[in-house]
Structure 1
Amino acid sequence: MHVTLDNPASVAAPFGDRFAHVARVDVGGGALLMLAGQVAVDDTGAVYAPGDVTAQSERVFEIIGGVLAAHGAGFGDVLHVRTFMTNLDDLPAYGAVRRRVFARTGTPPPASTTVEVTRLFLPGAALEVEVAAAVRTT
């Protein structure tokens, strides 16, 4: 088993380099990817589209897609999605984006957990999404 913590150049660095975007565990002919929670930020770290849950959801999945791609994975490799939302009334908007993202994979949607939280670490962020994925390396 080999473990790597990584911040791919394909996405903006985490805030203050305080964490890794992905923990990768290589085992046998594949790898397990555990992605840190992602919020909708631009390349400077500013909140993307404050107040627009649809735009924030699209941006979050764009960032996640970049992290996955840097490790040879895609949304079809995602096993589990965990979502933290500041307002579950926004679930329909988020759900529509999420369905579009995973419908393109041609695979069943991944396991999922969604919870409402009082706030996220970045004021203005409406949601934070983390995923676990498995990718074959041989």
Structure 2
Amino acid sequence: MPRARHASASPYEASIGFSRAVRVGRRILVSGTAPVEADGSSTPGDAEAQAERCLQIIVEAVGALGGHAADIVRTRMFLRDAADAEAVGRAHGRLFGAIRPAATVVAGAILLRPEWRVEIEAEAELPDD
């Protein structure tokens, strides 16, 4: 089955050797997505603002590979601090309140940049053709 890949503004994709998202068949897997702006800088603001940016990047990646937000069936949220769970949850709930994918929150994560409060990964399953 052929693979389709999507890249983003992450400065780490080429040096580490990964894609923002990969589609194989009906599955789209989105790598851990940090709050990175188009110029490679970190999204300013609190955990909620950063989560919104992560989710925006994820939805764009899924869309670039033929899916929609409604096709996302699993998310994993990695938080630097458990105190940010409610804020990140609000951002997640605004996007996924009706979709309700399976979700996991892991607190105490050590992320690549000290200013990052959250990183999110996702999986989508596209409908049968």
- TM-score higher than 0.5 here? yes
Q: What residue number does 1:136 align with?
A: 127
Q: What SS does the aligned partner of 1:83 have?
A: strand
- For residues 16 and 83 of structure 1, what CA distance do their matches in structure 2 show? 19
Structure with the greater alpha carbon radius of gyration: 1
Q: Deviations over 1:3-30 (max 9, x none)?
A: 415124xx4255251211112111xxxx
Q: What residue number does 1:38 align with?
A: 33
Which letter maps to 1:112? A
**TM-score between the two structures when normalised by the length of structure 2:** 0.89
Aligned positions of 1:55-66 closer than 5 A:
55-66=49-60
- Over the aligned positions, Cα root-mean-square deviation in angstroms equals 1.7
**Is structure 2 residue 102 aligned with structure 1 residue 76?**
no
- For residues 20 and 109 of structure 2, what CA distance do their matches in structure 1 show? 23
Q: 1:126 aligns with which of 107, 117, 124?
A: 117
- For residues 37 and 115 of structure 2, what CA distance do their matches in structure 1 show? 13
Q: What residue number does 2:93 align with?
A: 99
- For residues 90 and 110 of structure 2, what CA distance do their matches in structure 1 show? 22
**TM-score between the two structures when normalised by the length of structure 1:** 0.83
Residues 77 and 14 (structure 1), Cα distance of their counterparts in 2 relative to 1, 3 Å cut: farther
Q: What SS does the aligned partner of 1:82 have?
A: strand
CA contact (8 A) 1:20 1:36 kept: yes
Which segments of 5 or more consecutive residues in structure 2 lack a partner in the other structure? none
Q: What residue number does 2:12 align with?
A: 15
CA contact (8 A) 1:15 1:45 kept: no
Deviation at 1:45, TM superposition (A): 1.4
Runs of 4+ in structure 1 off by over 3 angstroms are none
Q: What SS does the aligned partner of 2:95 have?
A: helix
